[in-house]
Amino acid sequence: VSSLFAEIKKSYSAPLSIVVNCAGILRDSFLMDMTEDAFDDVMKVNLKGTYLVTQAAAREMVASGVPNGAIVNISSIVGKTGNIGQCNYAASKAGVVGFTKTVALELAKHNIRCNAIMPGFIETPMVASVPEKVLTKIVARVPMGRFGKPEELANAVLFLCSPASSYVTGSVLEVTGGLYM
């Protein structure tokens, strides 16, 4: 991660002021069948990866004195609701929310905001891997009657990175089409 941030610093004249952490993997299994490796893999990518990138970004933003920094961490509605066969994923994404709130408290004095987004079901390769009969049942529970589009999630990220959200920090925005209200 440190070499990545060194390369960013070398490649751009303006200091780093926005970071979006959007990594996530699944290793689905019921609790009693889940291997420790499957649990660890998900935690390493989804939570530890967010920590490592956020820490490096925060250090860079503070050192360069950016006037208005923004960090957005992508969680998941599963971090709030849980989901059968995804105890590792749910724990990692719930951890992202707690992490985000703590980072927001620590970085506010530096004018760096940190927020999270909890997407519901967005039309992505991850969702496409879910069996069709399961997707049909899920979409029936979404009040808006459809899955979200990637650009709708991107617009939420854009808002949280923009001056329009300059007084928003430590918040969690649910982008779910009304699922789990």
| C-alpha 34: how far from chain center | 23
- 153, part of any domain: yes
Is 91 inside any structural domain?
yes
Domain-located, residue 13 = no
- What gap in Å lies between CA 63 and CA 55, rounded to an integer? 12
DSSP three-state, residue 141:
helix
pLDDT in tens, 76-127: 999 999 999 999 999 999 999 999 999 999 999 999 999 999 999 999 988 8
User: Which domain range does residue 155 map to?
Assistant: 2-6+18-175
Per DSSP, the three-state class of 90 is: helix
Residue 12 resides in a domain: no
Residue 35 neighbours by CB under 8 Å, 6+ apart: 29
Indicate whether 11 belongs to any domain: no
**Quick check: is 89 catalytic?**
yes
- Of the candidates 12, 51, 89, 167, the residue annotated as catalytic is 89
Residues with Cβ within 8 Å of residue 90, at least 6 apart in sequence: 76, 78, 79, 81, 82, 83
The pTM of this model reads 0.95
Question: Is 181 part of a structural domain of the chain?
Answer: no
Q: Is the pLDDT of residue 165 over 90?
A: yes
Q: Is residue 25 part of a domain?
A: yes
For 27-39, write each residue's pLDDT tens digit: 999 999 999 999 9
CATH code for the domain in which residue 87 is found: 3.40.50.720
